[in-house]
Structure 1
Amino acid sequence: MKLAILLLFLVISQLATSNGMDVHLLRPFSGVGDHPITGVSCTSWRFAVETNNLRGWLTVPSTCEKYVGNYMIGGYYRQDSAIVVSEAIKYAKALNSSGDSNNIWIFDIDETTLSNLPYYAQHGFGVEPYNATSFNAWVGKSMAPALPESLKLYEKLLSLGIKIIFLTGRSEDSREATSWNLKRVGYHTWEKLILRGAGDKSSAVVYKSAEREKLVKKGYKIVGNIGDQWSDILGSPEGNRTFKLPDPMYYLS
Protein backbone atom coordinates (compact mmCIF):
# COMPACT_ATOMS: atom_id res chain seq x y z
CA MET A 1 0.00 0.00 0.00
CA LYS A 2 2.72 2.52 0.97
CA LEU A 3 4.71 1.75 -2.19
CA ALA A 4 1.63 2.17 -4.37
CA ILE A 5 0.83 5.53 -2.77
CA LEU A 6 4.41 6.74 -3.25
CA LEU A 7 4.37 5.72 -6.91
CA LEU A 8 1.03 7.47 -7.40
CA PHE A 9 2.29 10.79 -6.09
CA LEU A 10 5.52 10.49 -8.07
CA VAL A 11 3.49 10.04 -11.25
CA ILE A 12 1.25 12.99 -10.37
CA SER A 13 4.27 15.16 -9.68
CA GLN A 14 5.82 14.25 -13.01
CA LEU A 15 2.57 14.99 -14.85
CA ALA A 16 2.21 18.35 -13.19
CA THR A 17 5.82 19.33 -13.83
CA SER A 18 5.58 18.28 -17.47
CA ASN A 19 2.64 20.67 -17.81
CA GLY A 20 4.74 23.56 -16.54
CA MET A 21 3.07 23.80 -13.13
CA ASP A 22 6.26 23.44 -11.08
CA VAL A 23 4.55 21.33 -8.43
CA HIS A 24 7.03 19.97 -5.89
CA LEU A 25 6.17 16.70 -4.23
CA LEU A 26 7.59 17.43 -0.79
CA ARG A 27 7.82 21.22 -0.71
CA PRO A 28 4.35 22.80 -0.43
CA PHE A 29 4.16 26.30 -1.88
CA SER A 30 4.05 29.06 0.72
CA GLY A 31 0.70 30.42 -0.40
CA VAL A 32 1.79 34.04 -0.41
CA GLY A 33 0.32 34.76 -3.84
CA ASP A 34 -2.47 37.32 -3.69
CA HIS A 35 -6.05 36.63 -4.66
CA PRO A 36 -6.73 38.98 -7.61
CA ILE A 37 -9.94 40.38 -6.10
CA THR A 38 -9.57 40.30 -2.33
CA GLY A 39 -5.80 40.70 -2.19
CA VAL A 40 -5.53 38.07 0.55
CA SER A 41 -3.08 35.20 0.55
CA CYS A 42 -3.91 31.87 -1.05
CA THR A 43 -3.78 30.27 2.39
CA SER A 44 -6.51 32.63 3.55
CA TRP A 45 -8.48 31.96 0.37
CA ARG A 46 -8.34 28.21 1.02
CA PHE A 47 -9.43 28.74 4.62
CA ALA A 48 -12.48 30.69 3.43
CA VAL A 49 -13.29 27.88 0.99
CA GLU A 50 -12.99 25.09 3.56
CA THR A 51 -15.12 26.92 6.11
CA ASN A 52 -17.84 27.54 3.49
CA ASN A 53 -17.55 31.29 3.85
CA LEU A 54 -16.54 31.62 0.21
CA ARG A 55 -19.32 30.16 -1.94
CA GLY A 56 -20.32 29.91 -5.55
CA TRP A 57 -16.81 30.21 -6.96
CA LEU A 58 -16.12 28.57 -10.32
CA THR A 59 -12.34 28.17 -10.50
CA VAL A 60 -9.27 28.47 -8.33
CA PRO A 61 -7.67 31.93 -8.77
CA SER A 62 -4.83 31.68 -11.29
CA THR A 63 -2.42 33.19 -8.75
CA CYS A 64 -3.17 30.27 -6.40
CA GLU A 65 -2.63 27.43 -8.87
CA LYS A 66 0.83 26.49 -7.62
CA TYR A 67 -0.27 26.80 -4.01
CA VAL A 68 -3.30 24.51 -4.49
CA GLY A 69 -1.27 22.03 -6.53
CA ASN A 70 1.43 21.82 -3.90
CA TYR A 71 -1.15 21.54 -1.13
CA MET A 72 -2.87 18.62 -2.85
CA ILE A 73 0.31 16.73 -3.78
CA GLY A 74 2.41 17.64 -0.76
CA GLY A 75 1.93 16.39 2.76
CA TYR A 76 -0.63 18.89 4.07
CA TYR A 77 -3.62 17.51 2.18
CA ARG A 78 -2.97 14.02 3.50
CA GLN A 79 -2.41 15.35 7.02
CA ASP A 80 -5.66 17.31 6.95
CA SER A 81 -7.52 14.26 5.64
CA ALA A 82 -5.95 12.06 8.30
CA ILE A 83 -7.14 14.19 11.21
CA VAL A 84 -10.70 14.22 9.84
CA VAL A 85 -10.69 10.45 9.50
CA SER A 86 -9.11 10.01 12.93
CA GLU A 87 -12.03 11.85 14.49
CA ALA A 88 -14.51 9.87 12.38
CA ILE A 89 -13.04 6.57 13.55
CA LYS A 90 -13.03 7.73 17.17
CA TYR A 91 -16.70 8.65 16.86
CA ALA A 92 -17.61 5.37 15.10
CA LYS A 93 -15.88 3.23 17.73
CA ALA A 94 -17.85 4.98 20.48
CA LEU A 95 -21.21 4.20 18.84
CA ASN A 96 -21.39 0.64 20.17
CA SER A 97 -23.59 -0.19 17.18
CA SER A 98 -23.04 -3.94 17.01
CA GLY A 99 -26.21 -5.82 16.24
CA ASP A 100 -28.00 -2.87 14.63
CA SER A 101 -28.20 -3.88 10.98
CA ASN A 102 -29.84 -0.60 9.97
CA ASN A 103 -26.83 1.61 10.77
CA ILE A 104 -25.28 3.12 7.67
CA TRP A 105 -22.44 5.50 6.86
CA ILE A 106 -22.66 7.59 3.71
CA PHE A 107 -19.56 8.25 1.60
CA ASP A 108 -19.29 10.66 -1.29
CA ILE A 109 -17.02 9.35 -4.07
CA ASP A 110 -14.98 12.00 -5.91
CA GLU A 111 -12.27 13.46 -3.66
CA THR A 112 -13.71 11.43 -0.78
CA THR A 113 -13.60 7.74 -1.59
CA LEU A 114 -11.64 8.07 -4.83
CA SER A 115 -9.01 10.69 -5.64
CA ASN A 116 -8.94 12.35 -9.06
CA LEU A 117 -5.52 13.92 -8.50
CA PRO A 118 -4.02 12.25 -11.61
CA TYR A 119 -6.72 14.00 -13.65
CA TYR A 120 -6.28 17.40 -11.99
CA ALA A 121 -2.51 17.20 -12.29
CA GLN A 122 -3.12 17.44 -16.04
CA HIS A 123 -5.91 20.01 -15.83
CA GLY A 124 -4.59 22.73 -13.59
CA PHE A 125 -5.79 21.87 -10.05
CA GLY A 126 -9.06 23.72 -10.41
CA VAL A 127 -7.98 26.73 -12.49
CA GLU A 128 -9.70 25.39 -15.61
CA PRO A 129 -13.53 25.45 -15.84
CA TYR A 130 -15.16 22.06 -15.34
CA ASN A 131 -15.15 20.06 -18.56
CA ALA A 132 -17.71 17.26 -18.43
CA THR A 133 -16.36 15.56 -21.54
CA SER A 134 -12.78 15.19 -20.34
CA PHE A 135 -13.77 14.35 -16.75
CA ASN A 136 -16.28 11.70 -17.84
CA ALA A 137 -13.62 10.19 -20.08
CA TRP A 138 -11.35 9.98 -17.04
CA VAL A 139 -14.12 8.37 -14.96
CA GLY A 140 -14.63 5.81 -17.71
CA LYS A 141 -11.05 4.61 -17.32
CA SER A 142 -11.73 3.46 -13.72
CA MET A 143 -8.19 4.51 -12.79
CA ALA A 144 -8.78 6.82 -9.81
CA PRO A 145 -6.82 5.71 -6.73
CA ALA A 146 -8.36 5.46 -3.30
CA LEU A 147 -7.89 8.28 -0.85
CA PRO A 148 -5.94 6.18 1.70
CA GLU A 149 -7.50 7.85 4.75
CA SER A 150 -11.03 7.19 3.51
CA LEU A 151 -10.18 3.57 2.75
CA LYS A 152 -8.95 3.23 6.33
CA LEU A 153 -12.27 4.61 7.61
CA TYR A 154 -14.22 2.31 5.29
CA GLU A 155 -12.40 -0.76 6.59
CA LYS A 156 -12.91 0.24 10.21
CA LEU A 157 -16.64 0.84 9.70
CA LEU A 158 -17.08 -2.58 8.13
CA SER A 159 -15.29 -4.17 11.08
CA LEU A 160 -17.75 -2.39 13.38
CA GLY A 161 -20.74 -3.78 11.50
CA ILE A 162 -21.76 -0.45 9.93
CA LYS A 163 -23.03 -0.69 6.37
CA ILE A 164 -21.65 1.50 3.62
CA ILE A 165 -23.66 3.65 1.23
CA PHE A 166 -21.91 5.40 -1.65
CA LEU A 167 -23.85 8.50 -2.70
CA THR A 168 -22.31 10.31 -5.65
CA GLY A 169 -23.12 13.06 -8.11
CA ARG A 170 -21.77 10.87 -10.90
CA SER A 171 -24.41 9.94 -13.45
CA GLU A 172 -26.10 6.56 -13.67
CA ASP A 173 -24.37 5.76 -16.95
CA SER A 174 -21.04 5.62 -15.09
CA ARG A 175 -22.22 2.89 -12.70
CA GLU A 176 -20.13 0.09 -14.20
CA ALA A 177 -16.94 2.16 -14.38
CA THR A 178 -17.46 3.51 -10.86
CA SER A 179 -18.21 0.09 -9.38
CA TRP A 180 -15.15 -1.42 -11.04
CA ASN A 181 -12.94 1.44 -9.85
CA LEU A 182 -14.16 1.13 -6.26
CA LYS A 183 -13.52 -2.60 -6.14
CA ARG A 184 -10.16 -2.32 -7.87
CA VAL A 185 -8.74 -0.03 -5.15
CA GLY A 186 -10.13 -1.86 -2.12
CA TYR A 187 -13.79 -0.90 -1.59
CA HIS A 188 -14.94 -4.45 -2.09
CA THR A 189 -18.47 -4.35 -0.68
CA TRP A 190 -21.29 -1.93 0.03
CA GLU A 191 -24.99 -1.78 0.81
CA LYS A 192 -25.90 0.61 -2.01
CA LEU A 193 -24.21 2.63 -4.76
CA ILE A 194 -26.45 5.61 -5.54
CA LEU A 195 -25.81 7.64 -8.69
CA ARG A 196 -27.64 10.62 -10.14
CA GLY A 197 -30.45 9.61 -12.50
CA ALA A 198 -30.56 10.67 -16.13
CA GLY A 199 -32.05 14.13 -16.52
CA ASP A 200 -31.69 15.06 -12.84
CA LYS A 201 -30.51 18.69 -12.89
CA SER A 202 -31.11 19.49 -9.22
CA SER A 203 -28.34 20.99 -7.10
CA ALA A 204 -26.05 18.66 -5.16
CA VAL A 205 -27.65 19.66 -1.85
CA VAL A 206 -31.18 18.96 -3.12
CA TYR A 207 -30.24 15.70 -4.83
CA LYS A 208 -28.25 14.25 -1.94
CA SER A 209 -30.73 15.36 0.72
CA ALA A 210 -33.54 13.66 -1.21
CA GLU A 211 -31.56 10.43 -1.51
CA ARG A 212 -30.75 10.44 2.20
CA GLU A 213 -34.45 11.00 2.97
CA LYS A 214 -35.31 7.93 0.89
CA LEU A 215 -32.83 5.86 2.90
CA VAL A 216 -34.29 7.02 6.21
CA LYS A 217 -37.81 6.18 5.03
CA LYS A 218 -36.60 2.67 4.23
CA GLY A 219 -35.56 2.26 7.86
CA TYR A 220 -31.86 3.03 7.67
CA LYS A 221 -30.20 5.08 10.39
CA ILE A 222 -27.50 7.42 9.09
CA VAL A 223 -24.89 7.34 11.84
CA GLY A 224 -22.23 9.12 9.77
CA ASN A 225 -21.81 11.10 6.56
CA ILE A 226 -18.50 12.15 4.97
CA GLY A 227 -17.70 14.20 1.88
CA ASP A 228 -15.31 16.77 0.46
CA GLN A 229 -18.04 19.31 -0.42
CA TRP A 230 -20.36 21.11 1.97
CA SER A 231 -23.17 20.09 -0.38
CA ASP A 232 -22.36 16.45 0.53
CA ILE A 233 -23.26 17.00 4.17
CA LEU A 234 -25.74 19.90 4.30
CA GLY A 235 -29.50 19.52 3.94
CA SER A 236 -31.93 17.35 5.84
CA PRO A 237 -31.45 14.65 6.96
CA GLU A 238 -27.72 15.17 7.48
CA GLY A 239 -27.13 12.10 9.62
CA ASN A 240 -26.11 11.86 13.26
CA ARG A 241 -22.68 13.35 12.53
CA THR A 242 -20.98 14.77 9.45
CA PHE A 243 -17.32 15.01 8.47
CA LYS A 244 -15.85 17.39 5.88
CA LEU A 245 -12.68 16.42 4.02
CA PRO A 246 -10.51 19.15 2.44
CA ASP A 247 -10.90 20.08 -1.23
CA PRO A 248 -9.88 23.52 -2.52
CA MET A 249 -10.04 22.46 -6.19
CA TYR A 250 -13.74 22.96 -6.93
CA TYR A 251 -17.07 24.00 -5.45
CA LEU A 252 -20.42 22.23 -5.83
CA SER A 253 -23.60 23.86 -4.52
Structure 2
Amino acid sequence: MHVPSNKRGLGAGLATVLLLAGVAAFAGGSPAAADPNTTTAVSAGPAGYTQAAPTGQPSQYSSPLERCANGVNHPISGPNPILAEPLNTQFGSNVGLSEYVTFSGNQYYGDWQFVFTNTSSETLSTDCALLVFRAPSGSDNHGYTATQQYGHPQQDYLEVPRGDGTSFYIARLGFHDVPLAQRQVAPGQSFTYTLGGIPNSATTLEQIRDSLKFTADLDLTANQATVEHYGTNRLTN
Protein backbone atom coordinates (compact mmCIF):
# COMPACT_ATOMS: atom_id res chain seq x y z
CA MET A 1 0.00 0.00 0.00
CA HIS A 2 3.03 2.26 -0.18
CA VAL A 3 2.44 5.26 -2.40
CA PRO A 4 5.73 6.28 -4.07
CA SER A 5 7.12 9.78 -4.01
CA ASN A 6 10.00 10.61 -6.29
CA LYS A 7 11.87 13.53 -7.70
CA ARG A 8 9.92 13.39 -10.94
CA GLY A 9 6.49 12.92 -9.48
CA LEU A 10 6.61 13.66 -5.78
CA GLY A 11 3.42 15.66 -5.65
CA ALA A 12 1.09 12.83 -6.63
CA GLY A 13 2.86 10.35 -4.38
CA LEU A 14 3.18 12.36 -1.19
CA ALA A 15 -0.25 13.93 -1.43
CA THR A 16 -1.94 10.52 -1.42
CA VAL A 17 -0.17 8.56 1.32
CA LEU A 18 -2.58 5.84 2.44
CA LEU A 19 -3.51 4.05 5.61
CA LEU A 20 -1.54 0.94 6.60
CA ALA A 21 -3.47 0.14 9.78
CA GLY A 22 -4.08 -3.53 10.31
CA VAL A 23 -1.13 -4.73 8.23
CA ALA A 24 0.49 -7.22 10.54
CA ALA A 25 4.03 -6.70 9.26
CA PHE A 26 3.89 -3.07 10.37
CA ALA A 27 2.08 -3.62 13.64
CA GLY A 28 5.14 -3.41 15.84
CA GLY A 29 6.35 -7.00 15.88
CA SER A 30 9.86 -8.08 14.95
CA PRO A 31 10.47 -9.39 11.44
CA ALA A 32 11.24 -13.03 10.85
CA ALA A 33 14.96 -13.40 11.47
CA ALA A 34 15.24 -16.22 8.92
CA ASP A 35 14.23 -14.00 6.02
CA PRO A 36 17.43 -13.05 4.12
CA ASN A 37 15.71 -9.92 2.80
CA THR A 38 14.76 -8.64 6.26
CA THR A 39 17.04 -7.66 9.10
CA THR A 40 16.34 -8.21 12.76
CA ALA A 41 15.08 -5.21 14.68
CA VAL A 42 17.36 -2.94 16.68
CA SER A 43 16.31 -0.33 19.24
CA ALA A 44 17.51 3.04 20.42
CA GLY A 45 16.32 6.09 22.31
CA PRO A 46 14.67 6.78 25.66
CA ALA A 47 11.30 5.37 26.70
CA GLY A 48 10.31 8.73 28.15
CA TYR A 49 10.94 12.21 26.75
CA THR A 50 9.24 15.58 26.42
CA GLN A 51 8.05 16.82 23.03
CA ALA A 52 6.59 20.30 22.70
CA ALA A 53 3.10 20.43 21.17
CA PRO A 54 2.66 23.05 18.44
CA THR A 55 -0.17 25.55 18.50
CA GLY A 56 -2.26 26.57 15.53
CA GLN A 57 -4.72 25.04 13.12
CA PRO A 58 -4.26 23.22 9.80
CA SER A 59 -3.59 25.64 6.93
CA GLN A 60 -2.53 28.45 9.30
CA TYR A 61 0.87 28.55 7.68
CA SER A 62 2.39 31.09 10.05
CA SER A 63 1.58 28.89 13.05
CA PRO A 64 3.95 26.42 14.73
CA LEU A 65 1.72 23.53 13.62
CA GLU A 66 2.58 24.28 9.99
CA ARG A 67 6.28 25.04 10.59
CA CYS A 68 7.38 22.42 8.04
CA ALA A 69 4.53 22.94 5.59
CA ASN A 70 6.63 25.10 3.32
CA GLY A 71 10.31 25.01 2.54
CA VAL A 72 13.05 26.26 0.27
CA ASN A 73 16.32 24.91 -1.07
CA HIS A 74 19.40 25.51 1.06
CA PRO A 75 22.35 25.36 -1.36
CA ILE A 76 25.83 25.17 0.13
CA SER A 77 29.21 25.75 -1.46
CA GLY A 78 31.99 23.19 -1.55
CA PRO A 79 31.83 19.53 -0.53
CA ASN A 80 28.89 18.52 1.61
CA PRO A 81 29.99 18.42 5.27
CA ILE A 82 28.48 14.97 5.75
CA LEU A 83 31.32 13.53 3.63
CA ALA A 84 33.80 14.48 6.37
CA GLU A 85 31.78 12.85 9.13
CA PRO A 86 32.47 9.30 10.37
CA LEU A 87 30.09 6.59 9.23
CA ASN A 88 27.29 5.84 11.65
CA THR A 89 27.45 2.15 12.53
CA GLN A 90 24.73 1.89 15.19
CA PHE A 91 21.08 2.94 14.89
CA GLY A 92 20.53 6.12 16.83
CA SER A 93 17.42 8.01 17.91
CA ASN A 94 16.49 10.74 20.37
CA VAL A 95 13.15 8.99 21.05
CA GLY A 96 12.33 5.37 21.79
CA LEU A 97 12.14 3.47 18.49
CA SER A 98 12.89 0.07 17.06
CA GLU A 99 13.94 -0.24 13.44
CA TYR A 100 14.40 -2.96 10.89
CA VAL A 101 15.00 -2.89 7.13
CA THR A 102 13.41 -5.11 4.52
CA PHE A 103 14.14 -5.33 0.78
CA SER A 104 11.76 -6.36 -1.99
CA GLY A 105 12.76 -6.54 -5.64
CA ASN A 106 15.59 -8.04 -7.66
CA GLN A 107 19.13 -7.24 -8.74
CA TYR A 108 17.86 -4.60 -11.14
CA TYR A 109 15.53 -2.60 -8.92
CA GLY A 110 13.85 -2.78 -5.54
CA ASP A 111 12.58 -1.00 -2.44
CA TRP A 112 14.21 -0.76 0.95
CA GLN A 113 11.71 -0.19 3.73
CA PHE A 114 12.82 1.26 7.04
CA VAL A 115 10.13 0.11 9.48
CA PHE A 116 10.04 1.99 12.79
CA THR A 117 7.92 1.18 15.82
CA ASN A 118 7.32 3.58 18.69
CA THR A 119 8.72 1.67 21.67
CA SER A 120 8.40 4.60 24.04
CA SER A 121 5.59 5.43 26.45
CA GLU A 122 4.95 8.72 24.64
CA THR A 123 2.92 9.62 21.56
CA LEU A 124 5.47 10.68 18.95
CA SER A 125 4.95 13.46 16.43
CA THR A 126 6.98 12.69 13.31
CA ASP A 127 6.41 16.17 11.88
CA CYS A 128 9.79 17.74 10.99
CA ALA A 129 11.67 14.58 12.02
CA LEU A 130 15.05 14.12 10.34
CA LEU A 131 16.41 10.85 8.91
CA VAL A 132 20.08 10.47 7.92
CA PHE A 133 21.31 7.15 6.55
CA ARG A 134 23.54 5.45 3.96
CA ALA A 135 22.20 3.25 1.15
CA PRO A 136 22.95 2.42 -2.52
CA SER A 137 23.32 5.50 -4.71
CA GLY A 138 20.82 6.74 -7.23
CA SER A 139 17.47 6.44 -5.49
CA ASP A 140 14.60 7.72 -7.63
CA ASN A 141 11.72 6.87 -5.29
CA HIS A 142 11.26 7.74 -1.64
CA GLY A 143 8.21 8.16 0.53
CA TYR A 144 6.55 7.85 3.92
CA THR A 145 3.67 5.72 5.19
CA ALA A 146 2.26 4.86 8.61
CA THR A 147 -0.07 2.59 10.55
CA GLN A 148 -2.57 5.41 10.83
CA GLN A 149 -3.66 7.89 8.20
CA TYR A 150 -1.34 10.79 7.53
CA GLY A 151 -2.30 13.65 5.26
CA HIS A 152 -0.36 15.87 2.90
CA PRO A 153 3.27 14.99 3.73
CA GLN A 154 6.30 16.33 1.90
CA GLN A 155 10.06 16.30 2.39
CA ASP A 156 13.24 18.28 2.46
CA TYR A 157 15.61 15.80 0.84
CA LEU A 158 19.16 15.38 -0.36
CA GLU A 159 21.34 12.58 -1.71
CA VAL A 160 25.09 12.97 -1.26
CA PRO A 161 27.08 10.35 -3.26
CA ARG A 162 30.18 8.96 -1.55
CA GLY A 163 31.78 7.66 -4.75
CA ASP A 164 31.79 4.03 -3.59
CA GLY A 165 28.36 3.02 -4.86
CA THR A 166 26.62 4.34 -1.75
CA SER A 167 25.20 7.71 -0.80
CA PHE A 168 24.16 9.55 2.29
CA TYR A 169 20.47 10.38 2.31
CA ILE A 170 19.04 13.23 4.37
CA ALA A 171 15.28 13.61 4.63
CA ARG A 172 13.14 15.86 6.82
CA LEU A 173 9.50 14.79 6.99
CA GLY A 174 6.88 17.52 6.96
CA PHE A 175 3.10 17.78 6.92
CA HIS A 176 0.46 20.37 6.14
CA ASP A 177 -3.31 20.91 6.23
CA VAL A 178 -4.04 18.12 8.72
CA PRO A 179 -4.63 18.12 12.51
CA LEU A 180 -1.85 17.32 14.95
CA ALA A 181 -3.34 13.87 15.65
CA GLN A 182 -2.74 12.84 12.03
CA ARG A 183 0.97 13.60 12.42
CA GLN A 184 1.42 11.41 15.50
CA VAL A 185 2.40 7.80 16.18
CA ALA A 186 1.07 6.27 19.40
CA PRO A 187 3.08 3.80 21.50
CA GLY A 188 3.27 0.48 19.69
CA GLN A 189 2.35 1.92 16.30
CA SER A 190 4.68 1.91 13.32
CA PHE A 191 5.71 4.09 10.42
CA THR A 192 7.76 3.33 7.33
CA TYR A 193 10.17 5.21 5.10
CA THR A 194 10.77 3.63 1.70
CA LEU A 195 13.72 4.12 -0.64
CA GLY A 196 13.65 2.73 -4.17
CA GLY A 197 16.63 2.15 -6.44
CA ILE A 198 19.17 -0.26 -7.86
CA PRO A 199 20.80 -2.65 -5.34
CA ASN A 200 24.54 -2.51 -4.81
CA SER A 201 26.73 -4.99 -2.94
CA ALA A 202 28.75 -2.10 -1.50
CA THR A 203 26.51 -2.18 1.57
CA THR A 204 24.43 -4.82 3.33
CA LEU A 205 20.92 -4.59 4.74
CA GLU A 206 22.36 -4.61 8.25
CA GLN A 207 24.76 -1.79 7.41
CA ILE A 208 21.89 0.23 5.93
CA ARG A 209 19.84 -0.38 9.08
CA ASP A 210 22.67 0.57 11.41
CA SER A 211 23.62 3.68 9.45
CA LEU A 212 20.37 5.45 10.28
CA LYS A 213 20.01 8.26 12.76
CA PHE A 214 16.51 9.50 13.58
CA THR A 215 16.04 12.92 15.16
CA ALA A 216 12.52 13.88 16.22
CA ASP A 217 11.69 17.57 16.51
CA LEU A 218 11.23 17.89 20.26
CA ASP A 219 11.42 21.68 20.64
CA LEU A 220 9.58 23.04 17.56
CA THR A 221 12.82 24.19 15.91
CA ALA A 222 12.04 21.80 13.03
CA ASN A 223 15.62 20.48 12.83
CA GLN A 224 16.17 23.59 10.74
CA ALA A 225 19.83 24.06 11.61
CA THR A 226 20.67 20.55 10.38
CA VAL A 227 18.65 20.97 7.19
CA GLU A 228 20.54 24.16 6.39
CA HIS A 229 23.89 22.64 7.38
CA TYR A 230 23.53 19.80 4.89
CA GLY A 231 21.94 21.91 2.16
CA THR A 232 18.72 19.99 1.58
CA ASN A 233 16.25 20.73 -1.21
CA ARG A 234 12.49 21.08 -0.85
CA LEU A 235 10.82 18.54 -3.08
CA THR A 236 7.70 19.58 -5.00
CA ASN A 237 4.47 18.54 -3.30
Structure richer in helix, relative to its length:
1
Higher relative contact order (CA 8 A, sep 6+): 2
Which structure: larger Rg? 1
Q: TM-score, normalised by structure 1?
A: 0.29
Structure richer in strand, relative to its length:
2
Q: TM-score, normalised by structure 2?
A: 0.30
